[in-house]
Amino acid sequence: MEHVAQAVDLKSFFHNQMNMISEIDDHCRQIEDDLNQFKRQGKKLFLSSSLQTHSLPLLDIIHSIDPKIPVYFIDTGYHFPETILFKDRLKKEYGYHIIELSSPVNRYQQKDSDGQLLYTSDPDYCCYINKVLPLEPILKEYDVWISGVRASQSAFRSDLGKVGKGTFDTIKYHPVLEWTNQMIYAYKNAKNLPEHPLDEQGYSSIGCLPCTRKAEVGMDPREMRWFGLNKTECGLHTETMDTK
């Protein structure tokens, strides 16, 4: 009887996996339709990516639809070395059109009145200088910002819509907003996409080195960023939404 039960469970598992793959295929076709609609309207599109493992499915989808759409990676100057090496690998081995952005404010200027680096005393302003500010020229140049935020990641993101109004008259397009972790990793495994090298070291949400720690049992991955602070967003998405 135990073998029968295991066989039934296995059959149910594969059935669910096939249903999920079918759902993902539908989503991918919808993303392609949306991009084509934006293009017919004469709009310029770009994608931003943190290049974490869970970011790669959207990056791969966009690349497969139109490899000419630029992918902007914001190099804050505080990333883990593993993140930079991973970025270089993705460009070389997978041909992703990744373009680096960096802050116009030099590191030596990023200090408070006591001479401390801003991430130690004012992480919100540090995030603004190193993440929001570098993207502003891109927002002025393009019409549609494709972003991989997902509703399950934070309370703020759960309130977003698939399409929103951003600053500088941009359209913020969130094509994987309703994707679950299971869908993300089903796509990743189906396409044999690589994993960020810090995943196997216990990191589940990877940002800048000074403000990221390994995941702890029972804690939300976003809580591992800016640990101990009342902060779960860097401002890249909160400060670029037009709330007028």
CA distances in angstroms from 219 to 48, 82, 206, 215, 227, listed in the order given:
27, 24, 15, 7, 11
Burial class, 140, CB count within 10 angstroms (exposed 0-12 / middle 13-18 / buried 19+): exposed
pTM of the model: 0.86
The pLDDT of residue 159: 83
Burial class, 91, CB count within 10 angstroms (exposed 0-12 / middle 13-18 / buried 19+): middle
User: Which residues have C-beta within 8 Å of that of residue 56, sequence separation ≥ 6?
Assistant: 90, 188, 193, 194
Q: What is the mean pLDDT of residues 75-89?
A: 96
User: Which sequence spans correspond to the domains of the chain?
Assistant: 43-104+117-244
CA distances in angstroms from 110 to 79, 130, 231, listed in the order given:
16, 9, 20
* Per-residue DSSP letter, 225: B
The pLDDT of residue 47: 98
Torsion, CA 225, CA 227, CA 231, CA 232, rounded to 10: 30
How far apart are the C-alpha atoms of 205 and 203, rounded to whole Å? Answer: 6
The pLDDT of residue 228: 62
**pLDDT tens, position by position, 206-243:** 989 988 888 776 666 556 666 666 666 676 776 776 65
Residue 19 pLDDT > 50: yes
Q: What is the mean pLDDT of residues 115-137?
A: 89
The pLDDT of residue 4: 46
Single out the catalytic residue among 127, 208, 211, 234: 234
Amino acid code (one letter) for 227: F
The CATH number given to 43-104+117-244 is 3.40.50.620
Residue 208 designated active-site: no
**Count of helix runs (H) and strand runs (E) in the chain:** 8, 6
**pLDDT tens, position by position, 159-208:** 888 999 998 999 999 999 999 999 999 999 999 999 999 999 988 889 89
Q: Sort residue 36 into left (φ over 0), alpha (ψ -120 to 50) or beta.
A: alpha
